[in-house]
Structure 1
């Protein structure tokens, strides 16, 4: 299936500091594109891949699982590690979960982590019946466009494939168990008025990681997709400052490619 306009992956060849951005469940690179372009504009090498099954139609996602999504960001990280001296991993929602697994698996190869409204558990009674319900009902209502800013829409699916949601639940459990293996500097930004991921997820992540260099920032004006919301500029600047502190060599500009 063709990729939806605006959902294309993004790549920028910059300097020797690389950044991998991971988008969320049922979303697309569109939700992180302004963030990626901001970092690229400051000379970083940027990779924003499209996760398998995303950015086309929900039926394609029904055929994928967490192993496919993780394999794509792991591949993109490998490319950056070959190209750059220092690499950071950033993510929104499930993209934050992917970032945490990459950090746990790759250790010091990942210089630092930035997560925005990260998820670590499926909440509610529906999560417990997924093993059975996914065989009876193909989808449920979508999760996209939880944004306070008027006129802004997230490009994502209006349906959640339940086979994929079941795989996500298993992935959350896997990453939750590995959180103590995360030792890198961590910047966590969260929206108190998030209607998708409760604050308990961020609290659990902060309590379980082994990172000593940790900062939490509240995004008071935004909902879940804060990277497209009122606090977007703060996310961009906070992450850039975080990267600059840990990687002083960040700087030279390069060329851009999208699609």
Structure 2
């Protein structure tokens, strides 16, 4: 199926010193990360934000994929960046944060990670029934565009594909089991009000990782899709300061 206008991958070739992989969320598209990618590109960094398999076309396509497909796509982009840039960072929002954590677990050479409202679990009733429900109903109503800013728009599916959701739930368990393998510097942005991902998600991440360089920033004026919300400028500038600091510290260690 053709890709929806605006859902295309974002690519910028900049510095060979620093590369950044951006990972978008479940049912979303690179549109939700594009402004962040453009900010990083303007700073001179090399940036990649792939369109994950099953996303950006029609929601039934997502039910034909699994977390292994999404992870493989992100890992392929990481490999390309690692071959191009000396320091590579991974930034992710929501399920993109889940992918970011898994990449950090599997690739300790990643320089640092930034998470925005990452998802690793849910407290919602019926979550355990997802594998069964997915066999009966292909999808239910979704909640895209959880944005406080008036006029904020997220290009995402209006339906929540249940088979794909069950696969993401399986992915959460895989990532939670290996959180102790995450040792990279980590910066986590969490919205004070999030109608999609519960606060327990960030707590589990912060308590589970082994990173010694660890910081949490609470976003007072944004909902779930914070990269398109009031606090987006703080996320963008904060992530640049973070990666510049880490890159400089790594360079000093080499000297």
**Partner in structure 2 of residue 29 of structure 1:** 30
Measure the CA separation in 1 of the matches of 2:110 and 2:65: 26
Look up the SS of the partner of 2:207 in the other structure: helix
Look up the SS of the partner of 2:53 in the other structure: coil
Measure the CA separation in 1 of the matches of 2:180 and 2:173: 13
Measure the CA separation in 2 of the matches of 1:248 and 1:128: 45
For residues 27-55 of structure 1, the C-alpha deviation after alignment (integer angstroms, 9 at most, x for no partner) is: 00000000000000000000000000000
**Partner in structure 2 of residue 105 of structure 1:** 106
RMSD (Å) for aligned C-alpha atoms: 1.1
Measure the CA separation in 1 of the matches of 2:152 and 2:131: 34
Look up the SS of the partner of 1:125 in the other structure: coil
**Partner in structure 2 of residue 205 of structure 1:** 205
Measure the CA separation in 1 of the matches of 2:143 and 2:179: 25
Measure the CA separation in 2 of the matches of 1:13 and 1:116: 24
Taking the TM superposition and a 5 Å limit, the aligned residue runs for 1:140-219 are: 140-219=140-219
Asked if structure 1 preserves the Cα contact closer than 8 Å seen for 2:122 and 2:198, the reply is no
1:143 is displaced (CA, Å) by: 2.5
For residues 59-93 of structure 1, the C-alpha deviation after alignment (integer angstroms, 9 at most, x for no partner) is: 11110000000000000000000000000000000
Higher relative contact order (CA 8 A, sep 6+): 1
For residues 144-199 of structure 1, the C-alpha deviation after alignment (integer angstroms, 9 at most, x for no partner) is: 10000011110000001110000000000000001000000000000010110011
**Partner in structure 1 of residue 253 of structure 2:** none
1:240 is displaced (CA, Å) by: 0.2
Look up the SS of the partner of 1:163 in the other structure: helix
Q: Does 1:243 align with 2:254?
A: no
Normalised TM-score (structure 2): 0.96
For residues 87-128 of structure 1, the C-alpha deviation after alignment (integer angstroms, 9 at most, x for no partner) is: 000000000010000000001x20000000000013312211
Look up the SS of the partner of 1:4 in the other structure: coil
Q: Does 1:8 align with 2:8?
A: yes
Asked if structure 1 preserves the Cα contact closer than 8 Å seen for 2:146 and 2:223, the reply is yes
Give the length in aligned residue pairs: 249
Unpaired runs of at least 5, structure 2: 250-255
Q: Which runs of 4+ in 1 moved over 3 A?
A: none
Look up the SS of the partner of 2:36 in the other structure: helix
